[in-house]
Amino acid sequence: MRVSSRAVLIAAVVALAAGPLAAADYEVPGDRSAKDIVPAGMLKGPHHRVRGAVPTDGYTHRWTVDSDFGVFEVAGDGALRKLIPEIAAIVELRKFSKTEAFTKGLWTATKAPVGFVKSLVTHPVDTVTGVPKGAYELVENVGTSVSTTRNPAEDSRAAQVLKMSSYKRDYANKLDVDVYSSNKVLQKDLNSVAWAASVGDLAFSAAMLPAGVGGTVVSNVRLANSVKNVVKEEPPQRLRIRNDEALTRIGIGEDLRTRFLDHPSFTPRQLTIVCANLEALKDVGGRDAFVTVALGAQDEVQATFYTTMVQLLRGYHETVSVLTGITPLNRIVVAQTGAGQAVLALPLDRLIWTDRVDQVSGHFKTGYAATGFNGKVDLWLTGTASARARQALAERRFAVTEQVHRRVEVLD
C-alpha cells in the first residue's frame, strides 16, 4: 500500500499566508513510539506486528506493519485502523482457499468459457475498483446510464462480472473491510474467492465467514450502517447514479457533480460517504464549496482526508452545534455556527507547535472575516495535539478537541 504525498495534510495547517513569528519554543517533528499512540491490541497479533518507531512530520503518522503477507506501509492512524482488519480478512480468505470446496470451484472455473474473468486471480488489480480495469470499464459502459434500455445481464461477460462483484461485496461486508481498498493482497484474495464462487458455481456463502473485527465504535451508527449497506448491495455504476441524485438534491450543479463523481482519486465507497454526509448537513450553505475544494485531491491519502473531514463536520453539526455555512480556505474549508463560532475539522494524527502552525493560526485569527464570526474557533482533530500546541492555541481562543472520531461516526 503506497505512502502518498502529504500536500493536503500540510495544507490543512499551512495556508498561503505568512506573518511574524509570535512565539518561541517551537517543537520539531520526530519519531514517536507506537505504544504511545494506539492500543496495545493493535500493535501485535498472530499475523502482524506494528513497528515501534513511528515517523511523523508534525501532522501525519507513518506506519510500517510486518505481516505474514508482506510489509505494509500506510500514512495516517485511520489507515492503520483500516489495515489491521484487512490482515485478519486475508487470513480468513486464505483459510478458505485451502478447502476442498474452493479447490473444486477453482477447477470448474478454469474450464469456464469466459476467458477474461479467469485473469481476475492473477492480474494486477486496479487500485480504485479492485478488479482489472477492463472488466470495470465493461460494467460501467453497459450499466451507467439510468435511462439505458439495454439490460447489462444480456451480455454474458457483463453478467459474470456483476455476479462476481456481488459475491465480492458480500464477502467484504461480512469481513468488515472496504471492497474498494487499495490493499492489493486483500484484493487478490477477495477476487480469488469471488471468482471461484461465481464462475465455478461454488456453494460458498458469506455467512460461512467470521464476522469482521473492523469498524469504529460510536454512539450512533445509523448513517455509517446505511452507507455500508448501500455499498454492499449496489455495484459501482449504481452507486454513481445514487450519488449523483444526492448531490442534485442538495443543489450541486451538473458540471461540478460530474467532475467530482469522475474524480480518479475517490473510490465509489468514498464518494458515497461524502455524498451521504453532505446531504446530512441539512440547510448548511456552501456545500458546493466543499465539493470544489475536494476536487483538489491528488491521491488516495488526500481523498481520505476530505472523506474524513466531511464526516467530522456532519458529526459536529449533529452533536455540538448546528452549522450555518461552509467557506473555502485554500485547500480546506471553515464551517461556522449560528452563534458565530468557526469550526476547523482536520483529520490530523499529531499537531505540534511549529513556526508554521504559529504563523497560520495567527493569520487565521486576523484574516478570517466571515460575517458574524465571534473570534472563537473550535478545532477538531482525529488525533492529538502536544501540550505546547494546545496552550499556544488556547491563547488565541482555539478550543482543541482531540480524537473526535471516537465521539462521532467516522468510516475509515
Q: Are residues 260 and 181 in the same domain?
A: no
Domain end point (choices 164, 184, 208): 208
Alpha-carbon dihedral sign for residues 302, 121, 131, 207:
negative
Stated pTM of the model: 0.83
The residue segments making up the domain with residue 402 are 222-406
Q: Are 107 and 201 in contact (CB under 8 A)?
A: no
User: What digits encode the pLDDT tens for the residues 10-21?
Assistant: 444 443 333 333
Domain contains 25 = no
User: What digits encode the pLDDT tens for the residues 242-277?
Assistant: 999 999 999 999 999 999 999 999 999 999 999 999
Q: Please name the helix (run of DSSP H) or strand (run of DSSP E) that holds residue 312, with its range, or none.
A: helix 300-319
193 vs 324, higher pLDDT? 324
Region 384-391: mean pLDDT is 97
User: What digits encode the pLDDT tens for the residues 69-83?
Assistant: 999 999 999 999 999
Domains contained in the chain, number: 2
pLDDT at residue 132 is higher than 80: no
pLDDT at residue 118 is higher than 60: no
Domain contains 26 = no
Angstrom distance (rounded) from CA 246 to CA 236: 15
pLDDT band at 202; cut points 50, 70, 90? low
Domain end point (choices 208, 230, 260): 208
366 vs 112, higher pLDDT? 366
Residue with cell 500514512: 75
Region 203-210: mean pLDDT is 65
